[in-house]
Structure 1
Amino acid sequence: MSTKAFAPEEIVKETLNSSVKKVKKPFITSFLLGILAGAFIGLGALFYTIVKADETYSFATKQIFGGFVFSLGLILVVVAGAELFTGNNLIAIAWAEKRVTTKQMVRNWIIIFFSNMIGALSLVVMIYFSGHFEMNHNAIAETYVKMAEAKCSLSFTTAFFRGLLCNILVCLGVWMAMGGKTVTDKILAIVFPITLFVAAGFEHSIANLFIIPMGLLLDSSVSVDVITRELSVSGMFKNLIPVLLGNIVGGSVLVGLMYHFIFLKNKKTY
């Protein structure tokens, strides 16, 4: 078999066929793969937090190196195998091509989002009882709280556009990984877009389902200086709703439907 990467026109075909397979998986298979993906993204966020908590790094170093290690989350999803809500927004390609119905697409998104949430929250519980946050003289715990507070303090518009920009990059990472034929190809395709989205401070709904609950659990045990105090369950939903909407628009419309229009509308690629 050739190890040459797929051309963009071939990636469309691969993504289309993969999307059809995703919506046809049995519920339990999709659900369990979704749980894995939520935990995998949480592990990426944990890795990022370790870097973010080290005050010996400059701002740019923390952001870029932190984004680099966060890439582990999507690498695990793509290479080890799991179903991630933000990546599954690319199912919009198959929907536009009428290979899947609106009901099938929305059903998949709902199953995967809530199973991702269960995976992320399960990891929160395990990490909390592991005492991981006590590392670096409790700086890890303080960093979780500061990040969660900052996320809960975002306005609707800011959170929406950060979510939109995030999932453009996440879906481009998934898209390019689909074009690779080796594990190395896929990892290299993922690392740069994910590093950029994290370094730029964009918002990922599933990562936030790990970071904000961790911040909520640790809030009472650390003292941090913040301008506002919006870290709460209601603050979490205040963040998640616009970020979720932004993720959907960025991934399904600005990547999925854009490539459908370019390569599939009124054309035959297979």
Structure 2
Amino acid sequence: MNEVRFDALLPAEMATRAEYLGVQKAETGVLKTFALSVLAGGFIALGSVFATTTAAGTGSMPFGAAKLMTGLVFCLGLVLVVVAGAELFTGNNLIVMAWASRKVSTQKLLRNWAIVYAGNFVGSVGMAVLVFLSRQYGFGGGAVGETALKIAAGKVTFGFIQAVSLGTLCNTLVCLAVWLTFSARTTVDKIVAIIFPVTAFVAAGFEHSIANMYFIPFALLIKQFDPAFVTQSGVDVVNLTWGTFLVNNLIPVTLGNIIGGAALVSATYWAIFLRARKG
């Protein structure tokens, strides 16, 4: 009779699971991958909505406590991705473990990343449009919208190196969160594994490319279609444009996310646990 284990998987077993899942993700068909990617973008956007709404009510709290609260509620996004099932670009940087073992080709790795990134964008921006149409940003006497504008305006002020660094730190923690879920045997295990790393990256102010596909387009929609609200809020959004979104944030943050997830987490754990089994 086989022994039934209820304890968490050990790191070496987690590496094997990560490698196996990387192969499965890379082999998934285009339409299914894209559909799951759109869901993931929407899920991360929902976490971002939750975080923005919560942040709007923390003005009187100490800085650290407010950031902690915002980070905790943002965890909703990755919990939905992992438990409900979806394809998130930042988490899929872990496919590099299967690629390094030569179980996934470079073409399939890049194809997966491209499809998932595009799907995440559609899901995130689509959710931004839906939330804008709901006029949820007017809740709390406009505090939610004001907070959304402040968040987005701050995200387009980074220099290139700073944005890359913030993206690297962010996805190091996100991929560590996903990595920890590979040890899980229950849904509760997965949720608990996600909470601390994700809360840490949000509280610290690190940058997540997919979340920013919601945060910044949402603020841009408010700026473009409700200028009266922007004027009333008093938030300076003169530098908030689609161009600064791409150049000052999305491109360098995405690069940093890849460095953090693919190099600092995936390549490191592959070298420690799987390199000896290569081939």
TM over 0.5: yes
Deviates more, 1:44-53 or 1:198-207: 44-53
Alignment of 1:146-225 (within 5 A): 146-219=150-223, 220=227, 221-223=229-231, 224-225=233-234
Secondary structure of residue in 1 paired with 2:192: helix
State the shift of 1:50 in Å. 1.0
Matched, 1:252 2:262: yes
Q: Give, in whole Å, the separation in 1 of the partners of 2:55 and 2:266.
A: 32
Shift in alpha-carbon separation, 1:106–1:190, aligned structure 2, 3 A: same
Give the unaligned 5+ runs of structure 2.
none
CA RMSD, aligned part only? 1.4
Please, what TM-score do these two structures have when normalized by structure 1?
Answer: 0.97
Match of 1:43 among 36, 46, 56: 46
Q: Matched residues in 1 for 2:246 and 2:135: separation?
A: 26
- Counterpart of 2:78? 74
Give the equivalent residue in structure 2 for 1:31: 34
Amino acid in structure 1 at the alignment position of 2:188:
T
* Contact 2:50/2:74 (<8 A) preserved: yes
Percentage of identical aligned residues:
44
Which digits, 9 at most, give the CA deviation of each residue in 1:177-200, with x for residues without a partner?
111010110001000000000000
- The CA deviation string for residues 198-224 of structure 1, in whole angstroms up to 9 with x for no partner, is 000000000000000011111222234
Greater displacement, 19-28 / 221-230: 221-230
In structure 2, the residue matched to 1:243 is: 253
1:61: Cα distance to partner?
A: 1.6
Contact 1:3 1:182 in 2 (8 A): no
User: Which amino acid is the alignment partner of residue 236 of structure 1?
Assistant: F
For this pair of structures, how many residues does the alignment match?
A: 269
Distance 2:16 2:275 in 1: 13
- Residues in 2 aligned to 1:58 and 1:43: alpha-carbon distance in whole angstroms: 25
Moved over 4 A (4+): 224-228
Question: What do residues 62-106 of structure 1 show as CA deviations (whole Å, max 9, x unaligned)?
Answer: 100100000000000000000000000000101110000100000
Q: How far apart, in 1, do the equivalents of 2:118 and 2:238 lie?
A: 27
Shift of 1:25: 0.6
- The one-letter code sitting in structure 1 at the alignment partner of 2:241 is S
- How far apart in 1 are the matches of 2:164 and 2:7? 37
Task: Give the aligned partner of residue 274 of structure 2.
Answer: 264
